[in-house]
Amino acid sequence: SGTVKDLVEGARIISSSKLTIPSSDQTAMESVANNIYTYTYRSPIAQVGSTTYYSLKDAIAAVTVMGTVKVLQDTTLDNITNINNGVDLTIDLNGKTVSATGAQNVFTLSGTESAAVSLTIKDSVGGGKIDASGKTGGNTIVAVRDYATFNWEGGKLTGKTGSAGGPAVRLEKATSEFN
């Protein structure tokens, strides 16, 4: 007996009845084959303050005004991530790789005159990168639009080359900045 949090990674519970996982507990994933329920522990992907998240998108969405998202393990970010409404966000790659997929920009920054937006990407450990070489479209890694600032403090950006690739950073408006 015990809770899902007591399970060891890779453990299996075989029983005639299903283990009940509270909907708020996202540390375990359930799979079923031949009436065997397998529960696999999931490690958090990112952290904001002391709160952990199981997707980078969820961690980024949790920052509504100002905050730092620390990447805890290599992960994939698919399609576009919009950062707007006056958010001042820092993403610490923490030596990890964020692989970008999909056909859209990886990050699109768009603010207003009264609610400017800022994204800072840094790498506190070294070796961290955003790898957009798996993207299916030629869009940008970071599109900086109205009243938006992009600060690059560390890590590496990699993407496609040739006609299939877009620029790593694209300034789209007169009120955009890249530092």
pLDDT at position 32: 65
Rounded to two decimals, what is the model's pTM?
0.77
Considering only residues 22 and 81, tell me which one the structure prediction assigns the higher pLDDT: 81
What is the tens place of the pLDDT at every residue in 75-84?
Answer: 998 777 899 8
DSSP string, the chain: ---GGGPPTT-B---SSPPP--TT--SEEEEEETTEEEEEE---SEEETTEEESSHHHHHHH-SSEEEEEE-S-EEEES-EEEETT-EEEEE-TT-EEEEESSS-SEEEE-BTTB-EEEEEE-SSS--EEE-TT-SS---SEEE-TTEEEEE-SSEEE---GGG---SEEE-STTEEE-
At residue 142 the predicted structure's pLDDT band, cuts being 50, 70 and 90, is confident
What is the tens place of the pLDDT at every residue in 93-125?
Answer: 999 999 988 778 888 899 999 999 999 999 999
